[in-house]
Amino acid sequence: MASLSKTSQWQALSAHRDEISAVHMRDLFDREPERFKNFSLELDGLLFDYSKNPVTGQTLSLLVDLARTAGLEGWRERMFAGEAINTTENRAALHPALRNRSGKPFTVAGKDVMSEINRELDNIRAFTVSVRSGIWKGANGQPICDIVNIGIGGSDLGPGMACQALAHYGKAGLDCHFVSNVDGAHLDGVLARLNPQTTLFIIASKTFTTHETMLNANSARDWIVTSLGEDAVEKHFVAVSTNREKVAEFGISASNIFGFWDWVGGRYSIWSAIGLSLATYIGMDKFEDFLAGAEAMDNHFIQAPLERNMPVMLGLIGIWNNNFLGASSLAILPYSQALARFPAYLQQLEMESNGKAVARDGTALDGHCVPTLFGEPGTNGQHAFMQAIHQAERLIPVDFIVVAEAHENVLTPHQHFQHQQVLVANAFAQSEALMRGKTAREVRSELEAQGLCGSELEKLLPHKVFPGNRPSNTILLERLEPRTLGMLIALYEHKTFVQGIIWGINSFDQWGVELGKHLAAEILPELSSDAASHNHNSSTNALIERFKAYHRDNSSHRT
């Protein structure tokens, strides 16, 4: 963005913003009876409505010009061609190959990778059939009832979110659990509910050296060995990793190692063997539906013109709100309890990908890029932070994600429909309220109708005025099922890519997480040392000493 912001296209957008800044979205809708039709896109049961943003046709035309100036189409071709667009690590970012069901070749460094991918999918299928059918048995001959995925970051957020979202498709009698936090309370709380004889652990770590993951894995191993003996490890652990030597040292059989490739970034890895827990939970056929949904979005992203391209429009709307309207955050509000973990998933996807301070060439960015993402399922968010989105001075755009048809389980169809009507009514009402607002004249009329007048009315009136003109997108899914979830995730993946290209950054590295890891490795031995710490700043040194003091007189319970 260092150079892009100096281009004529960027300057034209800045001038255009000034020209339309006084135009309220109410006026845009009044002027354009076909606004929804002109500012929405649909693909296979997924509707994207971006009409409730302060944009005109000219705005979008200028944004598309900006995307072309940034070379979006060329970078898109390079990604799908398997070129090393992750320049700081000299790697491809070819996650679309993982969901390629068409049989067309995908190459990395001139080599077609589809045979390897399909072979790994065959291995995953064999494993899922074995566990789901009861053929796979624990050390004492009992079938598996619980799967515990131990990972962190992309090895946890993706499969954990998807298993929750697709719980309706999960196999009865088979539950999935996810442990990521190195806080022992996380693992302890999961293990307390499980029977070691019927529990299978998936250790998901590319290097099999990630400290948090391996500490949790080794504690889980001790739990199994204590109950079932050393020989039980082979029956109760599998690994998703590229480090076969370390996995073997752990005691996992070579036949129970599922691999992936260095061109699969962690936050883009759910489509690989990192999705093993999801595939086992919902079955391989449904997992392939999930892949097919993502592939459908890939094909749309490749083929649709930029002006009618869903990920491009989602990305460009974000650029407009962020870089031209000054929004520094984005609320993700899924009006679906099944998607409760989707905001957390997108936090990693977008903020780890695009949370950068320098461009691809190493020069400093001259403006902010990725917004701060947060979210909560509706209607809970309405009773938490929506007040600030409606009336606070700072602009906070919103993505509403709504599911039209809910799955039924215990509640009757009629009860589900009642709940769904209230849920969806709230979602649509929030987006309209953000767009319309409520003028002082409307508030005055409303209060007068309630019998208020004089100073009492004037005192209350300013508190009930809503400025409106607050941007939001609405994504409406016909049903939340494997295919549509795959489409939804791929939509946001490509949106993230689009924005990274326009900002001129590498969306596929994450050096920002390394410094904390390095310092943690230095501090860890100091927490158990008798010597006073003098290696850090006064605050960190004091905190280390205070922690040691807390534990010095309470060590008898630890072994």
352 counts as catalytic: yes
How many other CB atoms are there within 10 angstroms of residue 31's CB atom?
Answer: 10
Question: Is the separation of the CB atoms in 506 and 499 below 8 Å?
Answer: no
Helix, strand, coil % (nearest 5) of the chain? 55, 10, 30
What is the C-alpha separation between 427 and 434, in angstroms, rounded? 11
What is the C-alpha separation between 473 and 402, in angstroms, rounded? 11
Of the residues 383, 419, 459, 551, only one is catalytic, namely: 383
The secondary structure of 451-465, three-state, reads CCCHHHHHHHHHHHC
Neighbouring-strand partners of residue 202: 149, 238
CA distances to 336, 358, 359, 360, 500 from 367, in Å: 34, 10, 11, 15, 13
Beta-strand relationship, 146-150 and 199-204: parallel
What is the C-alpha separation between 134 and 102, in angstroms, rounded? 32
Amino acid type, 496: T
Of the residues 352, 376, 481, 493, only one is catalytic, namely: 352
What is the C-alpha separation between 186 and 224, in angstroms, rounded? 17
What is the C-alpha separation between 351 and 370, in angstroms, rounded? 6
Place of tokens 């979110």: 161
What is the C-alpha separation between 372 and 429, in angstroms, rounded? 24
Of the residues 111, 211, 419, 517, only one is catalytic, namely: 517
Question: Is the separation of the CB atoms in 384 and 333 below 8 Å?
Answer: no
383 counts as catalytic: yes
Choose among 34, 12, 67, 38: nearest CA to 504: 67
Beta-strand relationship, 372-375 and 472-479: unpaired
Can you tell me whether residue 282 is helix, strand or coil? Answer: helix
Can you tell me whether residue 375 is helix, strand or coil? Answer: strand
The secondary structure of 168-190, three-state, reads HHCCCCCEEEEECCCCHHHHHHH
What is the C-alpha separation between 91 and 89, in angstroms, rounded? 5
Question: Is the separation of the CB atoms in 377 and 523 below 8 Å?
Answer: no
DSSP 482-522: HHHHHHHHHHHHHHHHHHHHHHT--TT--GGGHHHHHHHHH
| Run of H or E residues at 291 | helix 284-303
Residues annotated as catalytic are: 352, 383, 517
